[in-house]
Amino acid sequence: MKMANLPFDIEQLKNISRRHFLWESAAGLGAAALGTFLAGCDARNAIPKNLASATDPMLPKPSHFPGKAKRVIYLHMAGAPSQLELFDFKPELQKLHNQLCPPSLLEGKRFAFIRGTPKMLGPQADFKQRGQSGAYVSEHLPHFAKMADEVSFLKGVYTDQFNHAPAQLFVHTGSPRLGRPSIGSWVTYGLGSENNNLPGFVVLTSGGKTPDAGKSVWGSGFLPSVYQGVQCRSEGDPVLFLSDPEGVDRNLKKKTIDAINDVNRQHFQEYNDPETLTRIAQYEMAFRMQVSVPEVMNINSEPEYIHQLYGTTPGKASFANNCLLARKLVEQDVRFVQLFDWGWDSHGTDENLAIDIGFRNKCREIDRAMTALLLDLKQRGLLEETLVVWGGEFGRTPMQENRENKNNPFLGRDHHVEAFTMWMAGGGIKQGMTWGETDEIGYYPINGKVSVHDVQATILNQLGMDHEKLTYHFQGRPFRLTDVAGKVISEIIA
């Protein structure tokens, strides 16, 4: 033993804390073992050996098979619009208007607010068959009625969640509980992005509030955070903190980011932490976005006929502005654009939530703009490779809501999980198609019943992804968007 070195060795040991020892152990042997485990379970989870490609996790990736769509625009009406006033025409329900609901429709069922015995509520809209397909569309959507031959209606969608937040989570993440990645995150994780100057997943909101489930509906869950949705705004700075602080010019910002990312790269080479890659990518993306985002998010330069088509008002937060922005974003190859429009919860507790007043007003807000979006995509040759999806988180009951067994002051419908309507257009979806049918009062599907997971599987299928193969290993097992369910709705695929 060399006694001369003993004091120096003791000083070294003193400087190694328990926390430091555990960190080094976890980042050394632990990280190596984790990397081996992830690579062994699924090559998609493995950390790339090439640092240049590793630091850009949004690079385009090959799909499982050739997809008919390259991008998605998902229009979610938060609060759940009534299918019985829009697309699911039920003349027999009108004959039952104001009659007491049969006990058979109530026994063993759970409703959000209905108690006791409510009255049946006939359709609060007039319907006509539209186009060559003969699909029923109500008077509430006169512009969209002209597009009936462009879309496929799903009349028998069902869910098992009857409250807004878990139902919204279920529709967008495949689970009613927090912590799962959203569908936009799964898509960008699976396919990357074809534009490295813009986020691959962009979120736009309107209606004055975010969805009941909050920003979790566009979160990345257990996927690397680089895949979460980026919320943009149609007024003010498109993205919060996009502008540089006063006194900081672009050259100084570039030097700062380069210095930070040099340290991040050294950290990644030492510990192989995938979140370090996210930080590198996000710093660089944020720098590029300072130029690209203001340009693409500016609708002032659009010609007047486009503003007339959409009904847009520059500088205002609105669904119409967001529809135009969605077209501009997919035109720049943004992979997934999610629009949330809040205010569709038609319970009848006040005028704004009345199925015959507030609901009509909400329809006016979206009718022209969503129709213009389809027309504009089509005229630009974008609809063929862009899948447009429209829907809510569940449907509405054929009976009138009697909150806590008391009549509401206005007409309204409670939440309904058994059947609701969604539609898809473009991206290899059949035109003028209706799949699914409900019974004579719109309570149960009698054919063409499809689940939320089926809808998700179909969206991924159109992008060229097998929903059973798009997985990510987390907590010892592979997870996927559709959990252990889901079947592609082949009947609506062209």
Average pLDDT over residues 269-281: 78
DSSP state letters, 201-234: EEEEEESSS--TTGGGGG--TTS-GGGS-EEE-S
Single out the residue of 483, 456, 393 nearest to residue 168, CA to CA: 393
Could you tell me if 151 and 132 are in contact, meaning their C-beta atoms sit under 8 angstroms apart? no
Q: Would you give the end-to-end CA distance of the chain in angstroms?
A: 80
pLDDT at 280: 79
Choosing among 3.50.50.100, 3.40.720.10, 1.10.1760.20, 3.40.640.10, the CATH entry for 73-234+302-492 is: 3.40.720.10
Query: Tell me: the pLDDT tens digits for 116-132?
Result: 999 999 999 999 999 99
Q: What tokens were used for 312?
A: 């847009």
Single out the residue of 205, 225, 199 nearest to residue 289, CA to CA: 199
Helix, coil or strand: residue 448:
coil
Query: Tell me: the pLDDT tens digits for 291-339?
Result: 667 778 889 989 999 999 999 998 888 999 999 999 999 999 999 999 9
Query: Tell me: the pLDDT tens digits for 380-430?
Result: 999 999 999 999 999 999 999 999 889 899 999 999 999 999 999 999 999
DSSP state letters, 317-355: --HHHHHHHHHHHHHTT-SEEEEEEE-----SSSGGG-T
Q: Is the dihedral of CA 80, 81, 84, 86 positive or negative?
A: negative
Angle ∠(177,181,186) on CA atoms, nearest 5: 145
pLDDT at 255: 75
Q: Is the pLDDT of residue 75 over 80?
A: yes
